[in-house]
Structure 1
Amino acid sequence: MASWNSFPLQVSYEFLGWFAFISWSISFYPQVILNFRRKSVVGLNFDFVLLNLTKHTSYLIYNASLYFSSAIQKQYFETYGYGEMIPVAANDVAFSIHAVLLTAITLLQIAIYERGSQKVSKISIGIVSVAWFTAAVCFFVALPNHSWLWLLSIFNSIQVLMTIIKYIPQVIMNFLRKCTDGFSIGNILLDFSGGIANYGQMVVQSIDQNSWVNFYGNIGKVLLSLVSVFFDIIFIIQHFILYRGKKSSKLITTTEHEDQIREHLVRPSDQSPPENV
C-alpha cells in the first residue's frame, strides 16, 4: 500500500476530510430541528428522504466494507495496483453511519408529525424496491467466487443513482409551490460546503500520489460531490433568488376543520351558506 509523499498534503487531506464530515453531518440537523419546531413535515418531500436513506445505506456498505475488510482491500490492490491508496478514509465511514441514523430519524418525524396530504410516491417505492432487489441478486452472484469488490461496485452504483435522482422531487416540489417554505436552506449550505471539501480531499490525494486512480477507483465519491454541489446550487437559486421571502400560494395540507373556519371567516356575516346542489 502506498504512503504519503508530503506531510502538508497529508494534513490537508485529513483536514478536508473531517471538514466534509462535519459539514455533511451537521447538514442533517437544520431540517430535523425545523420539523421538530413546526411539528410538521409539510414542505419536505418524502421521496427525497426515502431515496436518501437508500443512498446512504448503500454508501455505508461500500465505505465500511472497503475500509475494514482486508480481503476486499486485497481485491482493490489487485485491480488498481499495490502502489495505490485505498480511496476511503475514516471520515467517510463516520459520515455514512451518521447519515443513516439522521435520515432514519427524519423518516420517523414524517411518521409522527403533521404531513397533510403528502405521501411517498409509488415511483420512489418502486425505485427503492428495484435497487435492493438488484443488490440481493448480485450478492448471490458474487458469493460463489467471493467477488466482493464487484459487489461493492454495485452498491456504489446504487448510491450514485440515488444521489442523482434524490434531489429531483424536492426541486420539482419547490417549483410547483413557488417557495422553499418547510425545506431547510441550512441543510443545503452545509451540504454544499461538504461537497466542495470532499472533492478537494480527492484532489489533494491525487496530487500527492501523482495519480488520478483514486478518482475512477472510487467514482461514487466523485459523483457524490459533483452531483450534490450541482443540486445545492439549484436549491440556493430557488431559495435566495427565485422564491425569496415567498410563502406557498396554496396550502398543501389543510385539515377539514381548518377549511371550515377559513370559509366562515371569508363569508360575509349577513350572507347565508350556499345551499347544496
Structure 2
Amino acid sequence: MASWNSVPLEVIYQVFGWLTFISWGISCYPQVILNFRRKSVVGLNFDYEILNTIKHWSYLIYNASLFFSPVIQKQYFDKYGYQQMIPVAANDVAFSTHSVVMNLVVLFQLAIYERGNQKFTKYAISIVAIVCLIYSICFFIALPSHSWLWLISIFNSIQVCMTIIKYFPQAFMNFLRKSTDGFSIGGVLLDFSGGVFNYSQMAVQSIDQGSWVNFYGNMGKVLISLVTIVYDSILMLQHYVLYPEKKGVTCSKNYKEIKQPLISESPIPIDQQIKDSVPAQEV
C-alpha cells in the first residue's frame, strides 16, 4: 500500500475530508429542524427522500466494506496495484453512517407530520424494488467466486444512479409549485459545500501520488461530487432567482384564528352580533 509523499498534502487531504463530513453531515439537520418547527413535511418531496435513503445505504455498504475488509482491499490492490492508496477515508464511512441515520429520522417525520396529499409515487416504489432485485441477483453472482470488490462496485454504481435521479423529483415539484417553501435551502448550501470539499480531497490525493487512479478507482465518489454540485446549483437557482420567497407574506401564528369565522355560529341573530361587535361611542 502506498504512503503519502508530502505531509502538508496529507494534512490538507484530512482537512478536506472532515470538512466534507461536517458539510454533508449537518446538511441533513436544516430539513429535520424545519419539519419539526412546522410539524409538517408539505413541500418536501417523498420520492426524493426514499431515493436518498437507498443511495446512502448503498454508499455505506461500499465505504464500510472497502475500508474495513482486508479481503476486499487485497482485491482492490490486485486490480489497481499495490502502489495505490485505498480511495475511501474514515470520514467517508462516518458520513455514510450518519447520513443513513438522519434519513431514517426524516422518513419517520414523513410518517408522523402533516403531509397534505403527498405520498410515494409508484415510480419511486418501482425503482426501489428494482434496486433491491439487482442487489440480490448480484450477490448470488458474486458468491461462488467471492468477487466482493465487483459486488461493492455495483453498490457504488447504484448509489451514483440514485444521486443522479434523487434530486429530480424535488426540483420538478419546485417547478410545478413555483415555490421552494418547505424545502430547506440551508441543507442545499451545505450539500453543495460538501461536494466541493469531497472533490478537492480526491484531487489532493492524486496530486500527492502523481496518479489519477484514485479517480477512476472510485468513480462513485467523483460522480456524486459533480452531480451534487450541479443539482444543488439548480436548487439554489430555483430558491434565489426563479422562485424567491415573497417578502412581507407571513403565516399567522395561530392557524386556528385563520379558520375561525368572522361571525360566530350561535343562536344570537346576526344583526345583534354585528351590533355587539361595534364599540359603543363615548358620549
TM-score, scaled to structure 1? 0.90
What secondary structure sits across from 1:166 in the alignment? helix
Distance in 1 (alpha carbons) for counterparts of 2:161 and 2:81: 27
Aligned 1:17-96 pairs, distance under 5 A: 17-96=17-96
Distance in 2 (alpha carbons) for counterparts of 1:218 and 1:159: 12
User: What are structure 1's unaligned runs of at least 5 residues?
Assistant: 248-257, 271-277
What's the offset of the Cα at 1:261?
4.9
**Residue 10 of structure 1 corresponds to which residue in structure 2?**
10
**Residue 180 of structure 1 corresponds to which residue in structure 2?**
180
Distance in 2 (alpha carbons) for counterparts of 1:129 and 1:11: 42
Identity value in percent: 67
Quick one: which amino acid aligns to residue 92 of structure 1?
Answer: D
Aligned 1:107-126 pairs, distance under 5 A: 107-126=107-126
Write out per-residue CA displacement over residues 139-159 of structure 1, whole angstroms, 9 at most, x where no aligned residue.
011000000000011101110
Distance in 2 (alpha carbons) for counterparts of 1:152 and 1:209: 24
What's the offset of the Cα at 1:246?
3.9
Quick one: which amino acid aligns to residue 176 of structure 2?
Answer: L
Write out per-residue CA displacement over residues 216-274 of structure 1, whole angstroms, 9 at most, x where no aligned residue.
00000000100001000001111111111149xxxxxxxxxx9x959x77xxx99xxxx
- Structure 1 residues 75 and 204: CA distance shift in structure 2, 3 A: same
Determine whether 1:208 maps to 2:228. Answer: no
**Residue 143 of structure 2 corresponds to which residue in structure 1?**
143
What secondary structure sits across from 1:84 in the alignment? coil
Distance in 2 (alpha carbons) for counterparts of 1:166 and 1:245: 24
Distance in 1 (alpha carbons) for counterparts of 2:29 and 2:245: 22
**Residue 274 of structure 2 corresponds to which residue in structure 1?**
none
Misfit runs of 4+, over 6 Å: none
Determine whether 1:164 maps to 2:164. Answer: yes
Distance in 1 (alpha carbons) for counterparts of 2:91 and 2:84: 19
**Residue 98 of structure 2 corresponds to which residue in structure 1?**
98
Distance in 2 (alpha carbons) for counterparts of 1:17 and 1:136: 32
Quick one: which amino acid aligns to residue 140 of structure 1?
Answer: F
Write out per-residue CA displacement over residues 86-131 of structure 1, whole angstroms, 9 at most, x where no aligned residue.
0000000000000000000000000000001000101001001100
Distance in 2 (alpha carbons) for counterparts of 1:261 and 1:49: 31
Quick one: which amino acid aligns to residue 145 of structure 2?
Answer: N
Distance in 2 (alpha carbons) for counterparts of 1:246 and 1:151: 49
Distance in 2 (alpha carbons) for counterparts of 1:105 and 1:219: 29
**Residue 236 of structure 1 corresponds to which residue in structure 2?**
236
8 Å CA contact 1:26–1:190 kept in 2: the answer is yes
Distance in 1 (alpha carbons) for counterparts of 2:208 and 2:55: 30
Quick one: which amino acid aligns to residue 119 of structure 1?
Answer: K
Question: Please, what is the CA RMSD of the aligned residues?
Answer: 2.0
Distance in 1 (alpha carbons) for counterparts of 2:57 and 2:238: 28
What secondary structure sits across from 1:88 in the alignment? coil
**Residue 133 of structure 1 corresponds to which residue in structure 2?**
133
Distance in 1 (alpha carbons) for counterparts of 2:27 and 2:259: 38
Distance in 2 (alpha carbons) for counterparts of 1:132 and 1:65: 18
What secondary structure sits across from 1:245 in the alignment? coil
Distance in 2 (alpha carbons) for counterparts of 1:218 and 1:131: 20
Number of aligned pairs? 258
Quick one: which amino acid aligns to residue 23 of structure 2?
Answer: S
Distance in 2 (alpha carbons) for counterparts of 1:190 and 1:90: 20
